[in-house]
Amino acid sequence: MTDVMTDQATAKLTLDNGESIDLPVMVGSENEHAVDISKLRGKTGYITLDEGYGNTGACTSGITFINGEKGILRYRGIPIEQVAAKSSFVETCYLLIYGELPTQAQLDAFSKSLGSSAGIHESMRHHFQGFPDTAHPMATLSSMINAVSCFHPDIIDGSAEFDTVAARLISKVRTIAAFAYKATKGEPPVHPRADLDYCSNFLNMMFSTPGNDIELDPDVVQALNLILILHAEHEQNCSTSTVRMVCSSGANLFASVSAGVCALWGWRHGGANVAVLDMLDEIVKSGVSLDDYVTKVKNKETKLMGFGHRVYKNFDPRAKILAESADKILTKLGVDDPLLDLARRLQDVALEDSYFVDRNLYPNVDFYSGIIMRAMGIPTNMFTVMFAIGRMPGWIAQWKELRDDPTHRISRPRQVYTGPTERDYVPMDQR
């Protein structure tokens, strides 16, 4: 739990009945100010209304800091640029969950724990076979995360050590994802290998066949490592808030994260990079020129997916990092793909056209992650699954932070009721 400074200042709220109340002003470690309304209803009977929680702090947290105006993102205080350049996804997991960079011994032990937890119970293969070929991988992922916990009773009854449960989840989620992908293709699963690192293992399970392992390109492995790092945590977004809310009820880690997967599935959240590829596909299939499409965007006749960001009012710092990786991967792989060619041209337009520059409509992380994953051969319906794998350490860190807070209560938002006032039941023959 992060310490939050409370200064001597208060905010005075005057109500319509003339009553007033002094509310404490809280200041975070990055000088973020908040008005503490936790006792407002108890003292006045009033609540605040903030649909979408855009101006409401639901918690204090010491995991991630974002300054959208300045394009700042830090994991446990470390700038994302440094994490992306110097860390691995596994080390980033440790940093987010435990709050500090690991020593070599700690990292080795953590990696070993992930390696030993990668497999899933053989009986679970029948569960994958129960899904139709048309099942969306996110539906399978959410269901199977809950299902795998059933094979570990210590998760359900809460007797397992947190370190063990966290390692199981981070490790098994990639196995579940790869198995789900193989099931949609009607192919047998490829089991994890003890000699491969986290990202290499996942790519091998995705694209190899039993007895015929693919040759792994180090640059492709590094690109995946980078995508996972940049998606690992992003403060109190929709899915993270969902994980915390479910956790507040006392639900176990697997159940809470399964709910987070469902929240992430939406096109407004984790599905944003899917929307980018859908847009590019629509442009190519329609035959409209890029200039004409851009004109339609300017006339507000259509939307430009993958540009701009709700949080970042300037350039998304993650997008800057992925832009360099995208150039490297697309050039090296030399993929002949009209959608990727179009994406590059669209990027150039957005970075040079004053309409987009003046409105800060720069390519965001969803734009670049989508085109990189397509170049790697990852199908579009797996994009959000990749996001979920990357976000796993952030969700786990948030779950742990809430669980370890002795003052936390079950989440229970209020509402302003706008329905009918009291009325009588009408019998059927009088309706």
The whole-number pLDDT of residue 240 equals 97
CATH number at residue 372: 1.10.580.10
Tens of each residue's pLDDT in the chain, 431 residues = 445 555 578 999 999 988 999 999 999 999 989 999 999 999 999 999 999 998 999 999 999 999 988 999 999 999 999 999 999 999 999 999 999 999 999 999 999 999 999 999 988 888 888 898 889 999 999 999 999 999 999 998 888 999 999 999 999 999 999 999 998 888 999 999 999 999 999 999 999 998 888 999 999 999 999 999 999 999 999 999 999 999 999 999 999 999 999 999 998 899 888 989 999 999 999 999 999 999 999 999 998 898 888 888 878 899 989 998 998 898 888 888 888 889 889 988 888 889 988 888 888 898 899 989 999 999 999 999 999 999 999 999 999 999 999 999 999 999 999 999 999 999 999 99
DSSP tag of 25: E
Per the structure, the complete domain to which residue 32 belongs is given by 5-57
Q: Are residues 245 and 299 in the same domain?
A: yes
Q: Are residues 275 and 172 in the same domain?
A: yes
User: Is there a catalytic annotation at residue 234?
Assistant: no
Q: Are residues 46 and 191 in the same domain?
A: no
Q: Which of 231, 234, 316, 366 is catalytic?
A: 366
User: Is there a catalytic annotation at residue 366?
Assistant: yes
Q: Are residues 167 and 236 in the same domain?
A: yes
Q: Are residues 46 and 9 in the same domain?
A: yes
Tally Cβ neighbours within 10 Å of residue 429.
5
Could you give the CA distance from residue 217 to residue 196 in angstroms, rounded to a whole number?
13
The whole-number pLDDT of residue 7 equals 53
- Number of structural domains (the chain) is 2
Question: Could you give the angle at which helices 162-185 and 198-207 cross, rounded to 10 degrees?
Answer: 20
Q: Are residues 25 and 108 in the same domain?
A: no
The answer to whether residue 426 sits within a structural domain is no
The whole-number pLDDT of residue 272 equals 87
Q: Are residues 37 and 166 in the same domain?
A: no
Listed residue (52, 5, 98, 41) closest to 236, CA to CA: 52
Q: Are residues 152 and 14 in the same domain?
A: no
CATH number at residue 35: 2.20.28.60
Q: Are residues 84 and 24 in the same domain?
A: no
The answer to whether residue 130 sits within a structural domain is yes
The answer to whether residue 69 sits within a structural domain is no
Q: Are residues 94 and 182 in the same domain?
A: yes
The answer to whether residue 267 sits within a structural domain is yes
Is 336:320 a contact under the CB 8 Å cutoff? Answer: no
The answer to whether residue 431 sits within a structural domain is no
Q: Are residues 286 and 141 in the same domain?
A: yes
Q: Are residues 170 and 31 in the same domain?
A: no
The answer to whether residue 429 sits within a structural domain is no
Q: Which of 127, 231, 309, 316 is catalytic?
A: 309
The answer to whether residue 248 sits within a structural domain is yes
The answer to whether residue 422 sits within a structural domain is no
- What's at 397, amino acid-wise? A
Could you give the CA distance from residue 179 to residue 201 in angstroms, rounded to a whole number?
12
The whole-number pLDDT of residue 1 equals 43
